[in-house]
Amino acid sequence: MASMDQYDVIIIGSGIVGGTLACALGRSGLRVALVEAREPDIRIGTDPRVYAITRASEQIFRSLEVWDAIAAQPVCAFTDMEVWDAGSDGVLHFDCAELAVPWLGHIIEPGIMLAALQDRLQTLDGVDLYCPSLFAEIDCVADRVVVTLEDGRSLSAPLLAAADGARSPVRERLGIEVRRHDYHQTSLAARVHTALPHMNTAWQRFLPGGPLAFLPLADGWSSIVWTLPEDDVERIESLDQDAFHAALANAFDHRLGDIVDSGPRKTWPLVRQHAVHYVQERVALLGDAAHAIHPLAGQGVNLGLLDAAVLAGVVLEARAGNRDTGSLHTLRRYERWRRSDNQLMMTAMDGINRLFSNVNLPAGRLRGAGLSLVGLTAPVRHALMRHAMGLAGDLPALARPQ
């Protein structure tokens, strides 16, 4: 019989969320097996997709000692956010000076975070990376889960954490049900250079077909996320450069002047997906494996990082108390904490998406009045800013400022 490597936790999926969980557990002395299907896609300076990373996520990276490596790369701190509506004259402006903080968040390429996590993981003796590697079998045997890899090696641990993305082969294999909703919208991302400077502001204009965001980059360019009805995306994606620039500047109300240059375009069809259960005996889902959400507020990976921070806290606490880290009793605490927070964010994103897609006049007036009212009411505006920075609600220890 082949030998079996024993671990405290097996993590499947070494994206930003799985890598973060591995760091959080590995630096506390746990033995972690991190199983990843592909070599990481580490592109810096060319990836059309970038993420808006909240202050809470930044704090998680700081706690895990990965932030300095991220901040040494071309990342862009944004100090302001401006949101407005094509169908009314409502405008909402957030400015970090109002809350006496130096920035609201950062715009960062996924490759920068993946590289920093990978470097940090290499310093942790207890973390073994299996990459490229796929699982063949998952079996629960008494108080352990056994993962057999396609190459025949076997790993065992009291807990398996699945951070293997929205399609989650682990979730599928274990038959954990998801609720799924197709938005019939597609997001198109590209890097663009505008005639006017972006002023370190994250801009978002709501159009009837979906929101259009311009996110500031360190080199003065912007990264756009243009959400379009699914039957319009092919037309926009295939426009020649000049026609694309004209359509984009128009959709953005020429807010940053003409579009003078742009890079390759990439698209993602949008679905909302939520696992009915995040946990079962010996297994926890986190990140996109548990929830996929509309990108309109740029929250997806931020929610996944909070999942990782909460799950790490729950596991370390159970271990300190000599309790079974993979028991349903332990894992339910993680599920209760994160599932309700994530559901709230999903419901809010859906409501906003629906409200701003509504072209009838009363809805437009309501939006305009609502945005202006929020803009004028400082306590409401401050509460929204705290949400956008990820600092509202009950934060896990890793996300709290030290």
Ligand X SMILES: Cc1cc2nc3c(=O)[nH]c(=O)nc-3n(C[C@H](O)[C@H](O)[C@H](O)COP(=O)(O)OP(=O)(O)OC[C@H]3O[C@@H](n4cnc5c(N)ncnc54)[C@H](O)[C@@H]3O)c2cc1C
Alpha helices in 229-327 (DSSP H): 233-237, 241-251, 300-320
Quick one: which of 201, 273, 299, 325 contacts ligand X (CB under 6 A)? 299
**Other C-beta atoms lying within 10 Å of the C-beta of residue 368:** 17
Q: What is the nearest approach in angstroms of ligand X to the Cβ of residue 261?
A: 21
Report d(CA 375, CA 230) in Å as an integer.
32
Select from 90-98, 162-170, 195-203, 354-362 the region that touches ligand X (CB under 6 A): 162-170
Residue 18 found at the interface with ligand X (CB under 6 A): yes
Report d(CA 340, CA 260) in Å as an integer.
44
Residue 118 found at the interface with ligand X (CB under 6 A): no
Q: Which is nearer to ligand X, 134 or 218 (CB)?
A: 134
**CA 388-40-182 angle, 5° bins:** 50
For 256-270, give the DSSP string: T--EEEE---EEEEE
Q: Which is nearer to ligand X, 96 or 305 (CB)?
A: 305
Q: Which is nearer to ligand X, 65 or 172 (CB)?
A: 172
Residue 268 found at the interface with ligand X (CB under 6 A): yes
Q: What is the nearest approach in angstroms of ligand X to the Cβ of residue 50?
A: 7
**What is the token pair recorded at 174?**
């274990």
Q: Which is nearer to ligand X, 13 or 364 (CB)?
A: 13
Instruction: Please count the helices (runs of H) and the strands (runs of E) in the chain.
Output: 11, 22
- Within 217-256, which residues bind ligand X (CB under 6 A)? 225
Quick one: which of 8, 47, 128, 288 contacts ligand X (CB under 6 A)? 288
Residue 348 found at the interface with ligand X (CB under 6 A): no
Report d(CA 207, CA 86) in Å as an integer.
5
Q: 168 in helix, strand or coil?
A: coil
Q: Which is nearer to ligand X, 11 or 96 (CB)?
A: 11
Q: Which is nearer to ligand X, 17 or 66 (CB)?
A: 17
Residue 300 found at the interface with ligand X (CB under 6 A): yes
Q: What is the nearest approach in angstroms of ligand X to the Cβ of residue 355?
A: 20
- Within 170-189, which residues bind ligand X (CB under 6 A)? 187, 189
Per-residue burial over 221-243, b if 16 or more Cβ lie within 10 Å, else e, is: bbbbbbbbeeeebeebbeeeeee
Q: What is the nearest approach in angstroms of ligand X to the Cβ of residue 215?
A: 7
Q: Which is nearer to ligand X, 16 or 311 (CB)?
A: 16
Quick one: which of 26, 87, 90, 304 contacts ligand X (CB under 6 A)? 304
- Within 126-155, which residues bind ligand X (CB under 6 A)? 134-135
Select from 82-90, 147-155, 164-172, 229-237 the region that touches ligand X (CB under 6 A): 164-172
CB distance 307 to 24 below 8 Å: no
Q: Which residues on adjacent β-strands are paired with residue 214?
A: 203, 224
Per-residue burial over 268-281, b if 16 or more Cβ lie within 10 Å, else e, is: eebbbbbbebbbbe
Residue 37 found at the interface with ligand X (CB under 6 A): yes
Report d(CA 177, CA 228) in Å as an integer.
28
Residue 295 found at the interface with ligand X (CB under 6 A): yes
Bond preceding residue 401 cis, omega within 30 of 0:
no
Q: Which residues bind ligand X (CB under 6 A)?
A: 12-18, 35-38, 49, 51-52, 134-135, 163-165, 169, 187, 189, 225, 268, 287-288, 295, 298-302, 304
